[in-house]
Amino acid sequence: MFNFNYYNPTNILFGKRQLSKLKNLIPDDAKVLITYGGGSVIKNGVLQKVKTVLAAASCEVLEFGGIEPNPKFETLMKAVDIVRAENVDFLLAVGGGSVMDGTKFIALAAGSDTFKGEEEKILSFGFAPVPVTSAIPLGTVVTLPATGSEMNMGAVVSRGEDKLPVMSPLTFPKFSILDPELTFSLPKTQVANGVVDTFVHVLEQYMTYPAEGRFQDRTAEGILQTLVEIGKKTVDDPTDYDARANLVWCATTALCGIVGAGVPQDWSTHMIGHEMTALFGVDHAKTLAVVTPAMWRVRREQKKDKLLQYADRVWNISDGSDDEKIDAAIEKTEEFFHSIGIKTRLSDHNIDESGIERIIQGLEKHGMTKLSEHGDITLDISREILRTAL
Ligand code: NZQ
Ligand code: ZN
């Protein structure tokens, strides 16, 4: 196992009616900006519930709606202006990954003068922490279980054809309220996205090479098996509380840092997927379902030991040669994605050879030329992976 430093300060409030605790979590005299997306929280009543709870506290409340999926820099800057003009001192994100991520950017941009007037530079640090020493504190009320943004320090912000990571320990939410019932109004396709995003977050921290991270491996396999057990159930029956509760907690724990501590990681699938979203507007999770099986087909030698472990422990595959077991594990994974309505081919999203070339150009532009746990996925290998997914 590698050395690691695990830090996670987010206070999690999980379960039915936890929203009522909101008023104890925000300082009494705070000026709060509630941030939300395109209106789902108005339709399903979550925004009103949040406002009702906050009305019982003595804090002043403002609102900023319209943060779009794959949140745009330009939209977020409008909120930054409000935070500055109104001296907002607490941000409350009510929504899915895009609202939470967007709010993290707002927290960084408005919380210090370091990048005032040149906030686009906040998007230039990749996976290194943004060099600021203060940020506006934020909390979240999660309405879509998928990204894990509610308990991590990462965000992804879009600017033109760029989809860029933003990292800072200052953007760990102070608290996150995870009431599975607040997610019941999600359309099936978004729930399925949440299952796949969570599944692949675990895989990116697992499908590498054995590193004696036994707890991490067993935890990863536990999350994967839980998703296989409840994935279809929670897509088909949105009001099955226990199935949804398991998805919500899996989504959070998949990317709160515990699975990936002390073990090798490979975020290649996400990096290729981000280019697909930026260029073709394919939902984040749907890109991952396309890239994952192709990645394994091309990288079966480098990932052989873990693919066999995955075949055995997640899918109970015990018959056949090593190659047959790996093939069966890849097929089982694809079948699982299909069973919840998620497609696994580029052609399902109308992306052809010329589209692949645009994705490769995007990877090159963003310096993604040495991907994987070994740093050996060149642009040519990324092209081969994408061709395998056609
Ligand atoms: O915008 P509204 O009207 O709220 O509708 C949203 C949106 O259209 C809707 N929705 C959310 N909660 C709902 C609901 N509809 C009905 N009922 C509810 N309870 O769902 C749609 C998608 O929302 P979005 O937030 O975009 O989805 P998701 O949570 O999948 O977030 C995707 C974003 O997160 C980034 C992705 O790249 C993408 O930009 N990621 C963030 C990560 C992180 N911070 O750690 C890691 C991930 O790998 C990912 O890259
Ligand atoms: Zn993801």
pLDDT digits (tens, 9 = 90+) for 237-249: 999 999 999 999 9
Q: Both tokens of residue 64?
A: 């900023």
Is residue 357 domain-resident?
Answer: yes
Predicted confidence (pLDDT) at residue 268 exceeds the cutoff of 90: yes
| Average pLDDT of span 311-328 | 98
Q: How far is CA 10 from CA 247, 262, 270, in A?
A: 19, 20, 24
User: Is 202 found in the same domain as 178?
Assistant: no
Residue 64, helix vs strand vs coil: strand
Taken as a whole, the chain contains a residue count of: 390
Residue 340 sits in a domain of what CATH number? 1.20.1090.10
Residue that the structure tokens 């987010």 belong to: 10
Q: Both tokens of residue 349?
A: 């999203």
Per residue in 168-201, pLDDT (tens digit) is: 999 999 999 999 999 999 999 999 999 999 999 9
Is residue 294 domain-resident?
Answer: yes
Tell me, in angstroms, the distance from the centre of ligand 1 to residue 364's CA. Answer: 26
Ramachandran category for residue 122: left, alpha or beta (phi over 0 → left; psi -120 to 50 → alpha)? alpha
**Closest residue to atom 41 of ligand 1, CA basis:** 147
Is residue 356 domain-resident?
Answer: yes
Residues 6+ apart with CB under 8 A from 39: 65
Tell me, in angstroms, the distance from the centre of ligand 2 to residue 299's CA. Answer: 20
User: Is 384 found in the same domain as 311?
Assistant: yes
User: Is 273 found in the same domain as 299?
Assistant: yes
User: Is 215 found in the same domain as 348?
Assistant: yes
User: Is 287 found in the same domain as 170?
Assistant: no
Tell me, in angstroms, the distance from the centre of ligand 1 to residue 374's CA. Answer: 30
Dist. CA 233–CA 244, nearest whole Å: 9
Domain final residue, candidates 182, 206, 229: 182
Q: How far is CA 61 from CA 28, 29, 286, in A?
A: 11, 11, 36
User: Is 176 found in the same domain as 298?
Assistant: no
User: Is 220 found in the same domain as 155?
Assistant: no
Tell me, in angstroms, the distance from the centre of ligand 1 to residue 212's CA. Answer: 34
Tell me, in angstroms, the distance from the centre of ligand 2 to residue 30's CA. Answer: 32
Residue 80 sits in a domain of what CATH number? 3.40.50.1970
The verdict on the CB of residue 140 being under 6 Å from ligand 1 is no
Is residue 5 domain-resident?
Answer: no
Is residue 21 domain-resident?
Answer: yes
User: 29: pLDDT confidence band, cut at 50, 70 and 90?
Assistant: confident
Domain final residue, candidates 142, 163, 182: 182
Is residue 3 domain-resident?
Answer: no
- Which is the closest atom of ligand 1 to the Cα of 255? 45
Number of helices followed by number of strands (H, E) in the chain = 14, 8
User: Is 222 found in the same domain as 174?
Assistant: no
Parallel, antiparallel or unpaired: strands 31-35 and 60-64: parallel
Q: Are 216 and 262 in contact (CB under 8 A)?
A: yes
Tell me, in angstroms, the distance from the centre of ligand 2 to residue 198's CA. Answer: 7
The verdict on the CB of residue 97 being under 6 Å from ligand 1 is yes
- Which is the closest atom of ligand 1 to the Cα of 184? 19
Q: Are 291 and 272 in contact (CB under 8 A)?
A: yes
Tell me, in angstroms, the distance from the centre of ligand 1 to residue 258's CA. Answer: 22
Tell me, in angstroms, the distance from the centre of ligand 1 to residue 285's CA. Answer: 10
User: Is 307 found in the same domain as 203?
Assistant: yes
User: Is 155 found in the same domain as 191?
Assistant: no
Mutate to test the pocket of ligand 1, among 44, 70, 100, 156 (most ligand atoms within 8 A of CB): 156
The sheet carrying 90-95 orders its strands as 11-14, 175-178, 138-142, 90-95, 31-35, 60-64
| Domain range enclosing 42 | 11-182
| Average pLDDT of span 103-128 | 97
User: 38: pLDDT confidence band, cut at 50, 70 and 90?
Assistant: very high
Residue that the structure tokens 């019932």 belong to: 181
Dist. CA 161–CA 33, nearest whole Å: 29
User: 57: pLDDT confidence band, cut at 50, 70 and 90?
Assistant: confident
Dist. CA 338–CA 81, nearest whole Å: 43
The residue type found at 128 is: A
User: Is 177 found in the same domain as 205?
Assistant: no
Domain final residue, candidates 182, 204, 233: 182
* CA within 13 Å, CB half, 111: 22
The verdict on the CB of residue 158 being under 6 Å from ligand 1 is no
Is residue 4 domain-resident?
Answer: no
Burial of 66 (0-12, 13-18, 19+ CB in 10 A): middle
What letters, b where the CB count within 10 A reaches 16 and e where it falls short, cover 105-141?
bbbbbbbbebbeeebbebbeeeeeebebeebbbbbbb
Is residue 56 domain-resident?
Answer: yes
**Closest residue to atom 20 of ligand 1, CA basis:** 190
Predicted structure pTM score:
0.98
The verdict on the CB of residue 325 being under 6 Å from ligand 1 is no
DSSP-assigned letters across all residues of 317-362: --SS-HHHHHHHHHHHHHHHHHHTT----GGGGT--HHHHHHHHHH
- Which is the closest atom of ligand 1 to the Cα of 44? 17
| Average pLDDT of span 47-55 | 95
Torsional sign, CA 108, 110, 113, 116:
positive
Q: Both tokens of residue 27?
A: 């300082």
Dist. CA 157–CA 136, nearest whole Å: 18
- CA 260-263-265 angle, to 5 degrees, is 65
| Average pLDDT of span 308-312 | 98
User: 266: pLDDT confidence band, cut at 50, 70 and 90?
Assistant: very high
**Closest residue to atom 47 of ligand 1, CA basis:** 147
Torsional sign, CA 49, 188, 222, 207:
negative
Q: How far is CA 342 from CA 98, 204, 336, in A?
A: 20, 19, 9
Return the pLDDT at 28: 85
The verdict on the CB of residue 270 being under 6 Å from ligand 1 is yes
- Which is the closest atom of ligand 1 to the Cα of 163? 37
Count of structural domains within the chain: 2
User: Is 91 found in the same domain as 213?
Assistant: no
